Amino acid sequence: MALVQVSSNKCFGGYQKVYEHESSELKCKMRFAIYLPPKAESAKCPVLYWLSGLTCTEQNFITKAGSQQAASEHGIIIVAPDTSPRGCNIEGEDESWDFGTGAGFYVNATQDPWKTNYRMYSYITEELPWLLSSNFSVDPERMSLSGHSMGGHGALVCAFKNPGKYKSVSAFAPICNPSQCAWGQKAFTGYLGPDKTTWEAYDATLLAASYSGPALDILIDQGRDDQFLSASQLLPDNLIAACSTKNIPVVFRLQQGYDHSYFFVFSFISDHIKHHAKYLNA
């Protein structure tokens, strides 16, 4: 599968690049960003997948999160894909900021007209890892996940649904219980249909409640002044309770004064990369 390089910039001794390709899962052109640390020139490196939130592209993380220095120091490749298919000419795809373009929610849609293109779950867990292994110096046995907001939801879901595939997982202000919040209910109804039992496959809180895989060490940072926390969109307490019942270790840090923005992500991204490095470089 051909990759077309869109940009390349040297950064902390490595390279921050963006590529475009035709996606077999999503039936459209997709872009992803990849940071290649200096170590990748001479050895296979572990991969941290970063999943961004509503309205984002691959650009938000690479220009606002400040992840490259820590990734360079720890020898970790970071891959940040776009958040949804684009330009599919689906009626209604650009009508809402929280559904359609920029809001793929990391699910495999089952409903028309979304099911042909909106297969972000399979894109993240299957197509993208294969694409990376075929084109870059990555170690496919050492993968981890992180993300912000909708992307935090995606990271947790992918980790819970694939026991043992990912070494670790972390999230910033994740949508923890989408079946119970307005964002999730809107997305799940549109992509998965009205039968709420089908939603359970993409709800981190419900997946945690039935998780029986190997140990999974979770780090979550949440801003105390996050407007979406007070609006009951994120519901971290529900996830923490489910993980506690199943003895899944979670470090949950409520950060005083921080909101939902990338200033929050920038402030703690190094902690998250160190968290993943413990497992990826073990």
**pLDDT for 167-221, tens place per residue?**
999 999 999 999 999 999 999 999 999 999 999 999 999 999 999 999 899 999 9
**pLDDT for 233-279, tens place per residue?**
999 999 999 999 999 999 999 999 999 999 999 999 999 999 999 99
Closest by CA to 222, choosing from 208, 241, 235, is: 235
Mean pLDDT of 58-84: 98
Q: Identify whether 260 is a catalytic site residue.
A: yes
**Of these residues, 23, 144, 146, 149, which one is catalytic?**
149
C-alpha to C-alpha distance for 109 and 209, rounded to whole angstroms? 23
DSSP annotation of 232: T
**Of these residues, 82, 203, 221, 226, which one is catalytic?**
226
SS3 for 119? strand
Mean pLDDT of 73-90: 97
Q: Identify whether 24 is a catalytic site residue.
A: no
Determine the pLDDT at residue 189. Answer: 98
Q: Can you give the residue ranges of every domain in the chain?
A: 3-281
Cα R_g (the chain), whole angstroms: 17
**Of these residues, 148, 260, 272, 276, which one is catalytic?**
260
Determine the pLDDT at residue 223. Answer: 98
Determine the pLDDT at residue 282. Answer: 81
CA 47 to chain centre: 13
Determine the pLDDT at residue 4. Answer: 98
Structural contact between residues 106 and 54, judged by C-beta atoms closer than 8 angstroms: no
Record: fold of 3-281 = Rossmann fold (3.40.50)
Backbone phi, psi, residue 70, to 5°: -65, -35
Q: Identify whether 226 is a catalytic site residue.
A: yes
**pLDDT for 111-167, tens place per residue?**
999 999 999 999 999 999 999 999 999 999 999 999 999 999 999 999 999 999 999
Mean pLDDT of 98-111: 98
Closest by CA to 78, choosing from 6, 136, 162, is: 136
Q: pTM higher than 0.85 for the full model?
A: yes
Determine the pLDDT at residue 1. Answer: 65
